[in-house]
Structures are given as C-alpha cells and as structure tokens.
C-alpha cells in the first residue's frame, strides 16, 4: 500500500494503508523491532511491539471483561500472554495488541466477545 513519512515532530513515523482492508496503521522501529503507535486513529501510549505471534482485536471500551475472557481462552489451550497494549478510545472502542507465546489455532471462541480480531506472526 501507500507509505508516507509523518511531518516534523514524528520523524521516522510511517503510515501504511493496507490495500483491500479498512485499516490504517502508523509505527516506528525501536532498535530492530517494529512498533505500532496508531491504528485507525487510535493511539498507543506505549508503542506495541510487532514481533512473534500477535493477536489484534477491537472491542468496546465498556467491556472490560474481554481481557479476562481472552486470558481464560489462552489458559485453556496452553498459550501464554507475553505482552498487552491497549489504545486510546475512539468512538467508545479500543484496539488491543496481545503478544502470544504461540499463535492461536482458532479465534472462534473470542469472536463473540470482540468487534474485530485478527492474528499476525511477524
């Protein structure tokens, strides 16, 4: 997709539009690790590392039980949660980036609890 450097104070920040998806992401590289700073206008106070298997989901900010549901699912299948980052709220929703020890084989149990979910292995 399109890559454009951010102006002035965000030196080194890249924005990427992924062709065929509605997502717009912005991030940088810290050391040798790419990090996510913004996803569809929602910013991360602490940049989320994009390394290894990661799960990204969007949920209503008024649903704090989503993280405990995810933790229960991970425990059931023997996957460890290695990191967790949540974004600022946009229109009552938050994006969450979860670092996992191994990818989940099935997102079906999580889908009823979130608005959107996908998994990447970087």
pLDDT, tens digit, for every residue of 60-74? 988 878 889 999 999
Which residue carries 């991360």 as its tokens?
44
pLDDT in tens, 5-42: 444 444 566 555 556 667 788 888 888 888 999 999 99
What are the structural domains of the chain? Answer: 11-120 (3.30.70.260)
* Helices and strands counted in the chain (H then E): 1, 9
The set of residues, in sequence order, having a beta carbon less than 8 Å from that of 20 and lying 6+ positions away, is: none
CA nearest 51: which of 35, 31, 73? 35
Model pTM score: 0.82
């Amino acid at each position: 997709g399109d890559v454009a450097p951010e102006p002035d104070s965000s030196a080194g920040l890249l924005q990427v539009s992924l062709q065929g998806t509605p997502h717009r992401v912005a991030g940088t590289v810290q050391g040798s690790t790419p990090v996510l700073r913004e996803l569809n206008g929602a910013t991360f106070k602490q940049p989320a590392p994009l390394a290894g298997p990661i799960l990204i989901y969007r949920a209503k900010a008024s649903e704090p039980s989503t993280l405990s549901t995810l933790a229960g699912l991970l425990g059931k299948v023997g996957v460890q949660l290695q990191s967790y980052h949540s974004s600022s709220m946009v229109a009552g929703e938050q994006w969450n980036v979860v670092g996992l020890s191994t990818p989940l084989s099935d997102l079906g149990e999580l889908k009823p609890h979130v608005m959107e979910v996908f998994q990447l292995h970087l």
